[in-house]
């Protein structure tokens, strides 16, 4: 049995995760006895590990790639948010050995924007979302819940964008990858949810010439912190929000579930994350 309240992040691979330093920083600075561990778990082992963790005394865990969808079949109680998104990233182990699961990526995304722009109302006319993978589902859900008037989804593989628009319904629409630059003209929030810009392998492909200069631009890719998209947007004077804050804000609800106190996202924890990239 764990001696201290202990949570973990399960992924495969896991060594890239910034969640352990972030949660352990909060535990330490808030004076809470507890631990947060990285655990490398292969997909085939997820079921056995989730069955064992409550018995070992874990209070809960985060899930990252590739477990976010598969875990839905292994838990007993799923939040409405996670059901709508179709993936879970935060689990709480109950004393009766049942598991509650939710998804905090949508809240993390919105809180990151609001940390920098308290009032998002001027950006709500049209969101242009690039990408239609797992992360995109949480972002589209967040934008829909927040009352964005139009959500345009552009994805390299059009059929995946169409499937997301069908799943979420109004006000989502899709467009061809080749139409993306033209769609920037009416855009008030541009979001990259694709892996474009991650590492150096796939540079940002679209010119921003048509994008209004007061449109907010954000990228959920945070390695590098200043992606090609953010550099281009910043150079022409658009307001930008980097992606590492989403990671910090999505961690807040889980920490509160497990350790009973709500941590604050501040410049210190953001600097810690940025230094760990």
Ligand X SMILES: NC(=O)c1ccc[n+]([C@@H]2O[C@H](COP(=O)([O-])OP(=O)(O)OC[C@H]3O[C@@H](n4cnc5c(N)ncnc54)[C@H](OP(=O)(O)O)[C@@H]3O)[C@@H](O)[C@H]2O)c1
Residues that bind ligand X (CB under 6 A): 105, 131-136, 155-157, 160, 193-196, 198, 202, 220-222, 243, 246-247, 250
Residue number with CB closer to ligand X (96 or 201): 201
Residue number with CB closer to ligand X (185 or 277): 277
**Closest Cα to residue 223, out of 243, 249, 251?**
243
Contact 191, 220 (CB under 8 A): yes
Residue number with CB closer to ligand X (126 or 250): 250
Element housing 235 (H / E):
helix 228-235
d(CA 74, CA 72): 5
Nearest residue to the partner ligand X, using Cβ: 133
d(CA 27, CA 85): 29
* Pure H helices in 43-94: 46-56, 80-85
d(CA 246, CA 115): 10
CB of 105 to ligand X, least distance (A): 6
Residue identified by tokens 């979001």 is 191
Marked catalytic residue, from 68, 150, 223, 231: 68
CB of 97 to ligand X, least distance (A): 29
Tokens (6 digits) for 203: 């540079």
Residue number with CB closer to ligand X (21 or 212): 21
DSSP bridge partners of 46: none
Is 68 assigned a catalytic role? yes
CB of 16 to ligand X, least distance (A): 9
CB of 52 to ligand X, least distance (A): 26
User: Which residues participate in catalysis according to the annotation?
Assistant: 68
């Amino acid at each position: 049995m764990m001696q201290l309240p202990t949570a973990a992040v399960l992924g495969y691979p896991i060594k890239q995760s910034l969640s352990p330093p972030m949660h352990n920083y909060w535990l330490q600075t808030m004076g809470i006895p507890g631990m947060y561990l990285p655990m490398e778990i292969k997909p085939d082992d997820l079921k056995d590990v989730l069955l064992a963790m409550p018995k070992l005394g874990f209070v809960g865990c985060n899930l990252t790639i590739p477990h976010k969808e598969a875990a839905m079949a292994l838990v007993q109680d799923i939040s409405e948010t996670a059901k709508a998104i179709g993936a879970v990233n935060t689990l709480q182990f109950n004393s009766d050995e049942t598991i509650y699961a939710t998804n905090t990526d949508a809240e993390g995304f919105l809180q990151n924007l609001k940390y920098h722009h308290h009032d998002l109302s001027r950006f709500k006319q049209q969101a242009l979302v690039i990408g239609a993978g797992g992360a995109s589902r949480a972002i589209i859900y967040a934008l829909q819940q927040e009352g964005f008037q139009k959500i345009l989804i552009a994805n390299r593989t059009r059929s995946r964008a169409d499937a997301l628009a069908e799943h979420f319904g109004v006000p989502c629409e899709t467009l061809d990858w080749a139409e993306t630059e033209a769609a920037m003209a009416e855009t008030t929030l541009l979001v990259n949810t694709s892996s474009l810009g991650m590492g150096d392998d796939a540079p940002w492909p679209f010119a921003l010439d048509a994008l209004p200069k007061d449109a907010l631009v954000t990228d959920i890719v945070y390695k590098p912190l200043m992606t090609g998209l953010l550099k281009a947007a910043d150079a022409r004077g658009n307001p930008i929000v980097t992606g590492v804050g989403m990671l910090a804000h999505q961690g807040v609800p889980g920490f509160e579930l497990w350790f009973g106190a709500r941590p604050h996202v501040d410049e210190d924890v953001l600097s810690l994350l940025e230094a760990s990239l």
